[in-house]
Amino acid sequence: MSITLKSEADVRSVGVPRRRRRRHDLAALLYVAPAIMFVLVFFLLPLGMTVWMSLHNWPLIGRPRWIGFANYNALWRDHGFWNALAFTGRYTVAATIGLLAVGLALALFVEKPRPLVGLYRTVFFLPVVIGFASASLLWAWLSSVDAGLFSPLAEQLGLTNGRINLLATFDPAFWSVTVMVIWKMAGFYMIILMSGLQAIPADYHEAARIDGANFWQRFRFITLPLIRRPLALASILCVSGSMLAFDQFYIILAGGPQNQTITAVYWIFNQSFVSFRLGYGSALSVVLLGILMVLSALQLRLFGDREPPR
Amino acid sequence: MTLANEIILPSRAGWRPRFGLHRVLFHVAAVLVALLFLAPIAVVVLASFRPSSEAGLPPLPPWPTGGFSLDSYARLEAFGAGILHHAGNSLFVALGTAAITVVVSLLAGYGFSRFHFPLKGTLFVLILATMMIPFQSILTPLFLILARLGLQNTLTGLILIYVTLQLPFSVFMMRNAFDTVPKEIEEAARLDGATGLRLLAHIMSPIVFPGMVSVGLFAFLNAWNEFLAALVLLTDQDKFTLPVLMTAVRSGHYGSVDWGAVQAGVTVMMIPCLLLFLLLQRYYIRGLTAGSVK
C-alpha cells in the first residue's frame, strides 16, 4: 500500500507562496470533512462504545450499570460461546481449504489467454455478485428434502435409497453450506490468484521445462513461491470472512440441527438482539475482534513476507 | 497486466497449435465446470416460472412443464407489504448508498490527492482502518447511535451505515484515480477561471468518471445484498429490504414453506446484480483488483 508515499501535489506545492497554500489547506479539510464525519460517527464512536459497553450490564431499556470485567469473567464459563467459536473455527478451516484449492485450480485453468477464456472466467465469477442472502435462500431450497434438488436427484439417480434430509443431521448440513460457499466465492479467489499467476514471467516456466521439471515440480517450486503475496491476501480475506460467517447458517440452518451450527457472530447476535444483553454481547465482540486480529497477524507471519516495506 | 500477456503470448502460441486434442479437452472441461457454476442460478430462475401446482415439487426438470406462469411472483405480493414495496425499499437503500458514497468519496479522494493539510496521513489511515474492523463487532452501538439520532428502524439510518462501510475502499479508489490525473489539466482550468467545486464538478469529475462508476457499482451491490445489519436495524416489517423479507418467507407459516415464492424472490434479488455485473464488468474487475491486490 502506498499510503505513506507523498502524492505529486505535495511535492509541487512547496514552491507555492505561503498565503495561497494556507487557503488551500482549509478548503482541503472541507473536501475530506464528510468522509471523516462518517468514520467518526459510525465507526470510531461505536468502536469505543463497544469497549465501554462491554464493561457494563447494559439492558435495552433501563440504566446501564458499571460492572467492570464481570462480562469477561462470565464469558470464560460461557460454553455456548466457546462451542460457537469452535464450530466457526472448524467451518473456517473447511471453507478456507476448499476455497483456496478450488480458486487456485480455477485460476490455473483459465490463467492463459485463449479463445473464449474470458467467457469462462465471467461464468465462474457470476455467483460472487449475487448476495450471500440470495445464495443462502437458493441453497435452502435446493437442499430441502421435499421440494429441493439434491435429495430427489440423488434418489432418482439411484444413489440413495429414498430421500435423505440433508439438513437434519450435522455432517451433510455442514457440507451443504460449505459447498454453497465454495460455489459462491471460488470465482473471487480465482481472480485474486490469477493476477498473481499472470505476474510470473513466462521465462521461468520455460526454463524449468527445458531443465526437465514436470508440472508438479514447476507448480511447487516456481508457482507457489511466486504467488505467496496473493495467496496470503486470499487466505487472510478468506479466514476473516469465514470467522464472521452468519447469513448462510442463519438462513439455511437457523443454527440447527440441535444448535450445532451456531457461529460466533450468530451467538453474539442472539445475546445482543434476541436476549438483549447488549453489554455482554459487546464483550463477546471485543473477544472476537481480538481473535481475528491475532489470526491475521499469524497468517502474515506464516506467509513470511520478507520483502522490505515500500 | 495486458502488457505481460502480450509478452507471454508469442512464445506460448508457438507450441500450442500442436496440441489440438489438448485444446478440445480444455474446452470440454471448461464448459462442464461453467455449467456447474451456472446450474443453481439457471435452475432457480426457471423453477420460479412454474405454476402453483408444480411449485412445491422438486425441480426435475427445472423448467415449467405445465406452461409458463407468474403464479409464484403473484403469491409474493401476499408477503409483508408486497414484493414491489420491498423491492422499492432495497432499491432506495442501494441507490442512496451508491449516490452518497460516490459524492463523499469523490470529495475526499480529491482532497487527499491534491492538497496538503495537517494530519493528512493520519486521517487517510483512519478511513482505511474502517476496513480492518468488521462491522459485525460494532453493530450494538450502531443500533444505539441510530436510536439517539432518531434514525432507528429507518432506511436512511441503514444507508448511513452502508456508506461508512463502503468508504475505505471508495476513498482509496478515488484518491488513486485523482493521483493519475496530470496536474496540468487542473492548472489550465484554473487559468480559465474554474475553481473549487466547479473545477471538481466540470473538469475533474469526467476524468475520474470510471473510478466513480466502480465505487458506485460496489456500493449499490453491497447495499442491495447486505443482510445482517438490515436484519438487526429494521424492526418494522414495512421497512424490510428484500433479503430480510425473503428470510421471513423462507421461514414459512405454521411449518409449511412456499418454495415457489422463495424461488421468485431469489430471482428478483439476483437479476439486478447479474445484469449490473455483466453490463459494467470492466469497472467491477477494476475495482476488485484495485481494492484487493494493491
Instruction: Identify the closest residue of chain B to A227 by CA–CA distance.
Output: B293
Instruction: Identify the closest residue of chain B to A270 by CA–CA distance.
Output: B232
Q: Per-residue confidence at B8, pLDDT binned at 50, 70, 90?
A: very low
Model pLDDT, residue B293: 47
Model pLDDT, residue B189: 87
Q: Among positive and negative, which fits the CA dihedral B177, B178, B182, B188?
A: positive
**Are the beta carbons of A269 and B41 separated by less than 8 Å?**
no
Q: Cα B150 to chain center, whole Å?
A: 27
Cα separation, B11 vs B8, in Å, equals: 6
Over the stretch B171-182, which tens digit does the pLDDT of each residue have?
999 999 999 999
Is the Cβ of A159 closer than 8 Å to some Cβ of chain B? Answer: no
Is the Cβ of A204 closer than 8 Å to some Cβ of chain B? Answer: no
Q: Per-residue confidence at B187, pLDDT binned at 50, 70, 90?
A: confident
Cα separation, A34 vs A116, in Å, equals: 44
Helices B83-114 and B209-225: angle between axes, nearest 10 degrees:
140
Q: Which residue of B115, B170, B175, B251 to mutate against A (max A Cβ within 10 Å)?
A: B115
Instruction: Identify the closest residue of chain A to B139 by CA–CA distance.
Output: A46
Q: Per-residue confidence at B156, pLDDT binned at 50, 70, 90?
A: very high
Cα separation, B4 vs B13, in Å, equals: 14
Sorted by where each begins, the domain ranges of chain A are 15-46, 79-302
B12 has pLDDT over 70: no
Cα separation, B219 vs B95, in Å, equals: 8
Segment B108-135 shows an average pLDDT of 89
Cell of A212: 526437465
Segment A236-264 shows an average pLDDT of 93
A5 has pLDDT over 60: no
Q: How far is CA A165 from CA A161, A162, A239, B88, B257, in A?
A: 12, 10, 29, 36, 16
* Torsion from C-alpha of A56, A59, A62, A66, nearest 10 degrees: -10
Let me know: does A261 contact A249? Beta carbons within 8 Å.
Answer: yes
Arithmetic mean of pLDDT over chain B: 88
E-strand ranges in A1-160 read 56-57, 65-66
Model pLDDT, residue B255: 73
CATH superfamily of A79-302: MetI-like (1.10.3720.10)
3-state secondary structure of A80: helix
Sorted by where each begins, the domain ranges of chain B are 2-75, 79-292
A74 has pLDDT over 70: yes
Let me know: does B155 contact B92? Beta carbons within 8 Å.
Answer: yes
Return the CATH number of the domain spanning residue range B79-292.
Answer: 1.10.3720.10
- State what percent of residues in chain A have pLDDT above 90: 64
Higher pLDDT residue, A230 or B2? A230
Q: Cα A181 to chain center, whole Å?
A: 11
Higher pLDDT residue, A81 or B203? A81
**What is the CB neighbour count within 10 angstroms for residue A221?**
13
Longest CA–CA span in chain A (Å) reads 85
Let me know: does A11 contact B85? Beta carbons within 8 Å.
Answer: no
Distance from CA of A138 to the nearest CA of B (A): 7
Cα separation, B183 vs B204, in Å, equals: 11
A249 has pLDDT over 80: yes
Over the stretch A191-221, which tens digit does the pLDDT of each residue have?
999 989 998 998 888 899 899 888 899 989 9
Model pLDDT, residue A10: 45
Cα separation, A85 vs A79, in Å, equals: 10
**Are the beta carbons of A38 and B167 separated by less than 8 Å?**
yes
Q: Per-residue confidence at B19, pLDDT binned at 50, 70, 90?
A: low
Residue type, A226: L
Segment A6-24 shows an average pLDDT of 46
**Are the beta carbons of A129 and B115 separated by less than 8 Å?**
no
Q: Per-residue confidence at B290, pLDDT binned at 50, 70, 90?
A: confident
Cell of B69: 406462469
Let me know: does A32 contact B107? Beta carbons within 8 Å.
Answer: yes
A199 secondary structure, DSSP code? T
Model pLDDT, residue A42: 95
Q: Per-residue confidence at B133, pLDDT binned at 50, 70, 90?
A: confident
Residue where the block lists cell 412443464: B65
3-state secondary structure of B87: helix
Residue where the block lists cell 433501563: A62
Q: Cα B162 to chain center, whole Å?
A: 11
Q: Which of A183-192, B187-196, B255-264, B265-274 is least confident? A: B187-196
Q: Per-residue confidence at A123, pLDDT binned at 50, 70, 90?
A: very high
Cell of B290: 484495485
Report the 3 state secondary structure along chain A. CCCCCCCHHHHHHHHCCHHHHHHHHHHHHHHHHHHHHHHHHHHHHHHHHHHHHCCEECCCCCCCEECCCHHHHHHHCCHHHHHHHHHHHHHHHHHHHHHHHHHHHHHHHHCCCCCCHHHHHHHHHHHHHCCHHHHHHHHHHHHCCCCCCHHHHHHHCCCCCCCCCCCCCHHHHHHHHHHHHHHHHHHHHHHHHHHHHHCCCHHHHHHHHHCCCCHHHHHHHHHHHHCHHHHHHHHHHHHHHHHCCCHHHHHHHCCCCCCCCCCHHHHHHHHHHHCCCHHHHHHHHHHHHHHHHHHHHHHHHHCCCCCCCC
Distance from CA of A303 to the nearest CA of B (A): 16
B206 has pLDDT over 50: yes
Q: Per-residue confidence at B52, pLDDT binned at 50, 70, 90?
A: confident
Q: Among positive and negative, which fits the CA dihedral A12, A15, A18, A20?
A: negative
Residues in B touching A28 (Cβ below 8 Å): 111, 114-117
A21 has pLDDT over 60: no
B253 secondary structure, DSSP code? B
**What is the CB neighbour count within 10 angstroms for residue B194?**
17
Cα separation, A285 vs A268, in Å, equals: 7
Highest mean pLDDT, choosing among B21-25, B49-53, B230-234:
B230-234
Model pLDDT, residue A8: 40
The closest of A117, A126, A262 to A198, measured between CA atoms, is A117
**Are the beta carbons of B270 and A139 separated by less than 8 Å?**
no
Cα separation, B207 vs B209, in Å, equals: 5
Q: Which of A22-26, A273-277, B74-78 is least confident? A: A22-26
Query: What b/e sequence results for A150-178 when a residue is b if at least 16 CB atoms lie within 10 Å of its CB, and e otherwise?
Result: bbbbbbeeeeeeebbebbeeeebbbebbb
Higher pLDDT residue, A94 or A60? A94
- State what percent of residues in chain A have pLDDT above 70: 90
Q: Per-residue confidence at B20, pLDDT binned at 50, 70, 90?
A: confident
Segment A249-264 shows an average pLDDT of 92
Cα separation, B36 vs A180, in Å, equals: 12
Q: How many CA atoms lie within 13 A of B135 on its CB side?
A: 22
Residue where the block lists cell 475526499: B108
Q: Per-residue confidence at B259, pLDDT binned at 50, 70, 90?
A: very high
Pick from A9, A146, A282: which is nearest to B113 by CB?
Answer: A9
Higher pLDDT residue, B60 or B225? B225
